[in-house]
Amino acid sequence: MLVATTRKPSDDRGQLYSGDRGTAISLNNIVVSIPPDRNRTVGKVQWPLLLKPDPEKEFAVLSVGKIGSQRAVLKWARKNRKGKRQVLIFVHGFNNTYADAVFRFAQIVHDTGTDAAPILFTWPSRGDPFDYLYDKESTIYSRRALEDLILQATKSPDVADVTILAHSMGAWLTAEALRDIAMRDQTIPAKVRNVVFASPDIDIDVFRRQFIEMGATRPHFTIFTSTNDKALQVSRLLSGGISRVGGTDLRPYVPVLEELGVSVIDTSDITPSDPLGHTAFADTPGIVRLLGRRLAGQSLAGEEASYADKIGVAAVGIAGSAARVAVAAPAAVISPKAREILKRELSSDRGQIVDGRISY
């Protein structure tokens, strides 16, 4: 994967980048090894316990290469393009270290089987649940860097389609970047066709304004929501009692949202492994397999389907291959202990979409 970051290089020899803010965007090419499928569960990241991980049982970084400049994004895209010339940009959420972001994105790419060229944008999150405000301001600090990355990807003749997947606070950063691009350039590049927000931690009034200011040529948006998301309930308290987009029941507004190019997947009926319910769509293998079977090979553009099918088809739309990516989305955003929670998977594997809600 190509990893772009606004983090400061770490003084710790065991880490590439810290949670502090760097003075410029840094680019690396990183290769991650994932254990054989027989030794792992879909949606699970097996963290290395020792400095030298066991590749049969744990995720491991095989190589790290420095990329000199943003122009190198064009060369990277040419070297890593696949048949359909698709790019997937992932923007992580609050309370993620550099390693959290790299390993989770590697898991997403592997488990969904996407053939899109993977690009990770990781901003300066300290990986501490008590640094919420620092992380929020770090997204603002990183906004222009994400804009430049998106624009560099769309300028490449080796890229025909860009999908952006953003989780939690990363959705706020992505919405701000797209809004700024639209206001500065009068439009969002046509190659940015689909944007997926998983549990977006965005003030619902602010998102309405961001959405309007993106203009008439917006990409298609898909929003994963849950009214039982306790992390977003805390965020709501910290933000003056204003509802967060990812914690709101948007189903009553579906007819209007569909006309605006927004689809909704509500996961409120799922009993999550994560006690905060912030990653319910991500930590249940049954959902990954259900939506993978249901959505594989389907694209958002021009679909004619029932309401329940539409919110399914809209899940990602990496055209022609992996509309499964959003259901395998990012790591829990609570504390390092949350990694252990990911080891506990729900036993049921029989999910279904009923009236726009995924249930068991």
Tokens 């990694």 correspond to what residue? Answer: 339
Give the neighbor-by-neighbor strand order of the sheet with 60-67: 60-67, 17-33, 2-9, 117-122, 86-91, 161-167, 192-198, 220-225, 262-266, 357-359, 352-354
Residue 176 near residue 210, CB atoms below 8 Å: yes
Q: What angle do CA 176, 207, 223 make, to 5 degrees?
A: 100
Which residues in 61-93 are b (16+ Cβ under 10 Å) and which e? beeeeebeebebbbebbeebbeeebbbbbbbbb
Query: pLDDT (tens digit, 0 to 9) for every residue of the chain, 360 residues total?
Result: 999 999 999 998 878 999 999 999 999 999 999 999 999 887 788 998 877 889 999 999 999 999 877 677 888 888 888 878 888 899 999 999 999 999 989 988 887 777 789 999 999 999 888 899 999 999 999 999 999 999 999 999 999 989 898 999 999 999 999 999 999 999 999 999 888 888 899 999 999 999 999 998 999 898 888 898 888 889 888 888 999 998 899 988 888 888 888 988 887 887 766 677 766 555 656 545 433 333 233 433 333 222 233 333 333 332 222 222 222 223 222 234 433 433 343 233 333 333 333 333
User: Which secondary structure element, helix H or strand E, spans residue 87, and what is its range?
Assistant: strand 86-91
Token reading at 232: 């977003």
Residue 95 near residue 56, CB atoms below 8 Å: no
340: CB partners within 8 A, 6+ apart: none
Nearest-CA neighbor of 321 among 88, 144, 10? 88
Q: Classify residue 340 as left (phi > 0), alpha (psi -120 to 50) or beta.
A: alpha
Tokens 């729900």 correspond to what residue? Answer: 346
User: How far is it, in rounded angstroms, from Cα 98 to Cα 168?
Assistant: 16
Q: 110-162 pLDDT, tens per residue?
A: 877 777 899 999 999 998 888 999 999 999 999 999 999 999 999 999 999 89
Q: Is the alpha carbon torsion for 232, 337, 124, 266 positive or negative?
A: negative
